[in-house]
A = this chain, B = another copy of it.
C-alpha cells in the first residue's frame, strides 16, 4: 500500500496510542493499516487492497461462522484476544466438518489503546492464522471514544467448505450414541479468570486456546460415523450438552469420573465455588458418534497431540435431559448455565 510511503514519520509503536482519526477512513487510518496491520497478515488476497477480497472458486458446500471477541483481560496465560479470535472462529467452522479456508477480521478499537498492545495482538492473530493455514483476507478498523469500548474488540468470520458425505449437526444425536470429549475442561475460563482477578495458584493455569481443524480432519478420516461435533466454549461442557440434547430431542448421561480436569483447574474451581462443567474451553471438542465406532474414534483422537487425554464420557439417552453419575455414585441433573458464571471469557 503506497500510502505508507507518503508518511515521513512512522507510527510510534512504543508510546503511541489509538486516536479517533485512526477510524475516520482517511490518511491516519490508511497509515495504521499499511504500517501495523497489513504487514502482519500479509497474503495475496489482503494485498488486493480493496474493501473486500476475491479468492479462487471453491468446490463443496459453503460453511460460514462468526464470533465477536470481548475477552477481558486482553492478555492471559496461554494466549490473548488475538489468537483466541482466530482459533474460536476456525473451530466453529471445523465443528461442521468443514475445512476452514479464509478469515476476515474486524477491529473495534478504543481511543487510547496502546499501539504496542495492538501490535502484539495483531501479531498473535497473524501467527495463529499462519499456523492454522487460514489467511486473514479482508478486514475493517473502527475507533470509538474512550469509555465506549474496552481496548479492543475483534470480530472474526470464517468461511470453509464441507465435502460431500459429511453431515454433522447438533440435531443428529440418537439415543445410544457415545459422547467423547477431547481433553480436560475448564482451562481457558480459569486461565482468564485467574488473570483477571490476579489470583495465583501453585502451578499457572494455561488457556487451551487452539485451532482444532486438524484434529477434526483426523477424526473424519477415521471413517467413524460421527453425528455431532461442538466446541464447549461459553457455558462450558454442561451447556453444550444441553444445547445438543435440545436440538436432537434426546438426553445425555455422562459419568463425572471420566471427565478429565487438570488438578490446578479443579482446585481453583473449588476455591472459587465454580463448577468446571460450566467453565469455558477454547481448544476442546465434544464428539457424538454411533456406539460401535466409539473405541475406534477414541484411539484416533488419542493419537493426535491435541487429544491425548480424550475420553468416552457417556452416552445419549432418550430421557430429554442431561444427567451425570457423580463420583459419589449418585445421579444429578446437569442443567443449562442459568446466570452469568464468568462474563467476557471469550
Contacts and interface: CB of A to CB of B under 8 A. Distances in A.
Contacts of A148: 149-150
A234 B24 contact: yes
Contacts of A41: none
Number of this chain's copies in the complex: 2
A63 B62 CA distance: 12
Contacts of A246: 1-3
A340 interface: yes
A301 interface: no
A276 to B, nearest CB: 15
B243 A52 contact: no
A42 B65 CA distance: 17
Contacts of A30: 243, 336
A337 B58 contact: no
Given A144-B344, A157-B157, A239 B52 contact: no
Interface residues of A, number: 94
Given A50-B96, A149-B148, A338-B27, A104 B55 contact: no
Interface string A25-42: 111111000000000000
A228 to B, nearest CB: 9
A62 B51 contact: no
13 contacts: A1-B246, A3-B336, A24-B234, A26-B278, A26-B336, A51-B95, A52-B65, A52-B95, A52-B96, A54-B63, A55-B64, A57-B62, A57-B161
Interface of A: 1-3, 19-21, 23-30, 48-70, 92-93, 95-96, 98, 101-102, 104-108, 137-140, 142-145, 147-150, 153, 155, 157-159, 161-162, 169-171, 230-231, 233-236, 239, 243, 246-247, 249, 278, 280, 335-344
